[in-house]
Structure 1
Amino acid sequence: METLRIAFVYDVVYPWVKGGVEKRIHELARRLAKKHEVHVYGYKLWEGNGEIERDGVFYHGLAPAGRLYILGRRRPLPMLRLAARISRVRDDLRNCDVVDVQNLFYPGALALRGLENALLTWHEFWGNYWLRYWGPLGVFGETAEKALFSFERHAAVSWKTKLDLAEAGLRKPISLVPNGVDAGLIKSIPPAELESDIIFVGRLIPEKGVDLLLRALAEVKREIPDVRAVVVGDGPERGRLERLSARLGLEDSVLFTGFLESRDEVIAIIKASKVFVLPSRREGFGMVALEAMASGLPVVTLNAPMNAARFLVENGRSGFAVGADELGMAVLTLLGDKKLNRKMGAKGKMLARHYEWENVVGVWLASI
């Protein structure tokens, strides 16, 4: 294949911000950069020059981010400023062979409508969920989301999102380009000394459902008094969740670690646990669940309509996708049956191999 000039457009950038979308762009970009010219456009989150190079990838910081969140939600004004800067580099982007635009950066994506070489990557489709998220103002989000249907090329990171788009009326072809996992790296990381029975990893926001996990854990504790759980991550819900933990009598059973800077440390703590629980009410993919599967843990996730992670889990084979009132029983089943736990963990590890990043790069290239 000839050398391509590729650009990724999003607002926040890895490793300065460590979310799923940022991680996806990072993993794709650094692998593609081995053979192609790759650029990443977003906020300037680093010190010094606005344009830097790391691992063969060229990063363009177009605007300062400032405070990213307010009341647990991404601040719109910095995104609008960044979208205005994106509009100014439209001619540079037009000179690329492909521009991979992330739908969750709605102002920037709208600014690039009509760009012939653009590929719009959908991480989630919200539809009328916008009205629950923003109230009456959600109509603007819903309208902006539908406006992105005007892009000519589309990719979805999960089957759920692809189906949602088709049901919403997007009639253009939609490629399925999932997120991935570095199973080799995960295999090389030894388990941490901090052992636990149950682990959650993610941003502490209402959508992640950690409150459901704590209530399920109280149920588990009645059967296993010395049960130990670890909650890895930080966010606006942390204080409320710690108070809920205390009210449920879980102070000695749950450790809130806060945000961990090193991804290797996160993987090590996952590998030192027995069951991974992702009780998300809304999840665009569930990359951390995939990492847990690659680590050999069975996964328990919520069988919620907007939780795409449930598609990663083969219910009853690599874990369980259950209702909120069944989370505790699913965890008890896996903690009480070591043979089943190992069997499901092994199945999950096998399934995770299909999502190796090198394979995803090939699928991405085929989609353009």
Structure 2
Amino acid sequence: MRILMLSHSPNDPDGGASRIYHVLSEGLAARGHEVDVRHQEDYGLPTGRLPRLVVERVGLPQWISRAALSSTSPGDHDVVMASGGTMYPLFRRLRASGGPRPLLVSHAHGMSVYDRIVNLGESRLGHFPASPAYRAVSAPFSDWWEYRGVAAADVSVVQNLRDLDQLRTRGTIVHIPPAVHPELLVGSETITPLDQRVPGQVLWFGTWESRKGAWYVPRALRLLRQAFPAARLVIGGTGKSHEELAAHFDPADRDALTVLPRVTRAEQMRLMNESQVFLFPSLSEGFGLALPEAMAFGLAAVTSPVGFAADHLTDGLNARVVPATGEHVGAALVQLVTDDDLRQRIAARGRETARSFTPERMVDGYDRLFTEYAGRPVHVP
């Protein structure tokens, strides 16, 4: 089967949507499919700052659809899959062409409408600003593209049950969770024993923004260190310096904070092998791969009920699943850091859950989907 996968994200094997396309394309190719993957760099976006910004915020689907049409011969494939509705003009053109055409698959990494609700809510609370440009252009346009992508596709793939419920009346929707990265899955086969890790070391991988629940982290750390003064927080992948983030924390906690703007995969595995608890206080997630990947290394998780956690974790069994507030997260951190038996029990059960999200499981889902639907019409209400 010939499969064309079109991602609007930068080409990054370690980054979000792009990571899924890398792992999926390798898995499908290993099963004998012919897979062509394109990323943002392949569409010839403008290089000037202002023209590029206008295209990305207002005209991205039109621009990259034209680029994909001229450079990839999408009509010669059995399946064309694209993310976030950003290829809906291409899908519409292929549908209107008449005669045989590829199966058109819209891939939702996480519906942007929920990110929009969170960002505007956090702004209203005074936690993070939401610019006029975001309110008037960026958020509405991304929502618009997403729904049009679902309408133009034959079938849409979602990664969580919230999105499945929201979109189920709009077309044929299939739920396929993503996978723990294969290198991390292999690396987590043998881990540092849970009782030999740095006492009270909490790890968090995430950008410092409203959607990730960043505003609630300083309060949670303050509560933890009041109960366990030796506790430390390591934040990786923020893209910011220690000085930029330390100002948000209580002066008493700033020396207990380590900020790593960039984290290699090797360093990621090292940190996960030495830490006890993983913090994941996100307010909106399509899935949140950082969470199961950390849990695969035996970290006991404190998470909010979004994405992976909402669908696959149970509070007190394989994670602490609590509302994303400083008070709730802080109390859960105190419990897991100070109760060794509970922490190790939750960590062991969580690791079993997380390690079941294998690349083979994910590739099986897409392979079945493509095989079932390619070559036959699919009714979209």
Using structure 1 for the length normalisation, give the TM-score.
Answer: 0.81
Distance in 2 between the 1:112 and 1:86 partners?
Answer: 11
Q: Give the counterpart of 1:18 among 14, 22, 25.
A: 14
Deviation at 1:152, TM superposition (A): 1.4
Distance in 1 between the 2:88 and 2:252 partners?
Answer: 46
| Map of 1:58 onto structure 2 | none
Percent of residue pairs bearing the same amino acid type: 21
Deviation at 1:317, TM superposition (A): 0.7
| Map of 2:172 onto structure 1 | 173
Decide whether aligned partners of structure 1 residues 286 and 129 sit closer, same or farther in structure 2, where only a CA change above 3 A counts.
Answer: closer
- Calculate the aligned-residue CA RMSD, in Å: 3.2
Q: Give the counterpart of 1:361 among 360, 363, 371.
A: 363
Deviation at 1:185, TM superposition (A): 1.5
- The equivalences for 1:247-258 within 5 A come to 247-258=250-261
Deviation per residue, 1:162-200 (Å, 9 max, x gap):
11223xx31x22111111113642225765999461000
| Map of 1:123 onto structure 2 | 109
Contact 2:87 2:149 (8 Å CA) reproduced: no
Distance in 1 between the 2:236 and 2:22 partners?
Answer: 22
Distance in 2 between the 1:68 and 1:266 partners?
Answer: 32
| Map of 1:43 onto structure 2 | 40
Distance in 2 between the 1:313 and 1:268 partners?
Answer: 25
Does structure 1 residue 198 correspond to structure 2 residue 202? yes
| Map of 2:341 onto structure 1 | 339
Decide whether aligned partners of structure 1 residues 197 and 82 sit closer, same or farther in structure 2, where only a CA change above 3 A counts.
Answer: same
Deviation at 1:235, TM superposition (A): 3.5
**Which deviates the most, 80-89 or 336-345?**
80-89
Using structure 2 for the length normalisation, give the TM-score.
Answer: 0.79
| Map of 1:50 onto structure 2 | none
Deviation per residue, 1:134-176 (Å, 9 max, x gap):
323344433333222321111111112211223xx31x22111
Which is richer in helix? 2
Deviation at 1:258, TM superposition (A): 1.2
Unaligned ranges ≥5, structure 2? 95-101, 121-129, 371-381
Q: Which secondary structure state, in structure 1, belongs to the residue aligned with residue 356 of structure 2?
A: helix
Q: Which secondary structure state, in structure 2, belongs to the residue aligned with residue 295 of structure 1?
A: coil
| Map of 1:107 onto structure 2 | 86
| Map of 1:243 onto structure 2 | 247
Contact 2:80 2:103 (8 Å CA) reproduced: yes
**Which deviates the most, 285-294 or 178-187?**
178-187
Deviation at 1:343, TM superposition (A): 0.9
User: Which structure is higher in RCO with an 8 Å CA cutoff and minimum separation 6?
Assistant: 2
- The equivalences for 1:298-309 within 5 A come to 298-303=300-305, 307=307, 309=309
Contact 2:234 2:259 (8 Å CA) reproduced: yes
Q: Which secondary structure state, in structure 2, belongs to the residue aligned with residue 244 of structure 1?
A: coil
Code of the residue aligned with 1:249 in structure 2: it is A
Decide whether aligned partners of structure 1 residues 237 and 164 sit closer, same or farther in structure 2, where only a CA change above 3 A counts.
Answer: farther
- The equivalences for 1:1-368 within 5 A come to 4-15=1-12, 18-34=14-30, 35-44=32-41, 61-64=42-45, 75-76=56-57, 79=60, 81-89=63-71, 92-103=73-84, 106-113=85-92, 115=94, 116-127=102-113, 130=116, 132=120, 134-137=134-137, 138-150=139-151, 151-166=153-168, 169-170=169-170, 172-181=171-180, 182=182, 184-187=185-188, 195=198, 197-235=201-239, 240-245=244-249, 247-260=250-263, 262-303=264-305, 307=307, 309-323=309-323, 324=325, 325-368=327-370
Distance in 2 between the 1:39 and 1:218 partners?
Answer: 49
Code of the residue aligned with 1:82 in structure 2: it is I
Decide whether aligned partners of structure 1 residues 341 and 126 sit closer, same or farther in structure 2, where only a CA change above 3 A counts.
Answer: same
Deviation at 1:78, TM superposition (A): 8.5
Contact 1:189 1:267 (8 Å CA) reproduced: no
Distance in 2 between the 1:212 and 1:347 partners?
Answer: 26
Contact 1:186 1:294 (8 Å CA) reproduced: no
Decide whether aligned partners of structure 1 residues 330 and 154 sit closer, same or farther in structure 2, where only a CA change above 3 A counts.
Answer: same
Contact 2:68 2:74 (8 Å CA) reproduced: no
Unaligned ranges ≥5, structure 1? 45-60
Deviation per residue, 1:94-130 (Å, 9 max, x gap):
2111112111xx4334433354421111111234764
Decide whether aligned partners of structure 1 residues 175 and 204 sit closer, same or farther in structure 2, where only a CA change above 3 A counts.
Answer: same
| Map of 1:53 onto structure 2 | none
Q: Which secondary structure state, in structure 1, belongs to the residue aligned with residue 144 of structure 2?
A: helix
